[in-house]
Amino acid sequence: MQAVSVIGIDPGSRHTGWGIVSEVSGVLQLVDCGVIHTLSVGKDLSPRLAHIFHELSGVIARHMPQEAAVEQIFTAQNVASALKLGQARGVAVAACAAKDLPVSDYEPTLVKKSLVGTGRAEKDQVAFMVRRMLNMREGKLALDTTDALAVAICHLTMRRFVKLVGE
Which pLDDT tens digit goes with each residue over 30-68?
999 999 999 876 678 999 999 999 999 999 999 999 999
pLDDT digits (tens, 9 = 90+) for 87-123: 999 999 999 999 999 999 999 999 999 999 999 999 9
Q: Give the residue extent of every domain in the chain.
A: 4-166
CATH class belonging to 4-166: alpha beta
Cβ density class 39-68: b for 16+ within 10 Å, e for less: eeeeeebeebbebbbebbeebbeeeebebb
Please provide the average confidence, as pLDDT, over all residues in the chain: 93
Q: Are 153 and 104 spatial neighbours (Cβ–Cβ below 8 Å)?
A: no
Of 55, 67, 144, 147, which residue is the catalytic one? 144
CA angle 72/50/111 to nearest 5° reads 20
Give strand ranges (E) for 47-161: 67-71, 103-106
Asked if 10 is an active-site residue, the reply is: yes
Of 10, 23, 55, 67, which residue is the catalytic one? 10
Asked if 32 is an active-site residue, the reply is: no
Q: Is the pTM of this model over 0.85?
A: yes
Asked if 100 is an active-site residue, the reply is: no
Of 23, 55, 67, 71, which residue is the catalytic one? 71
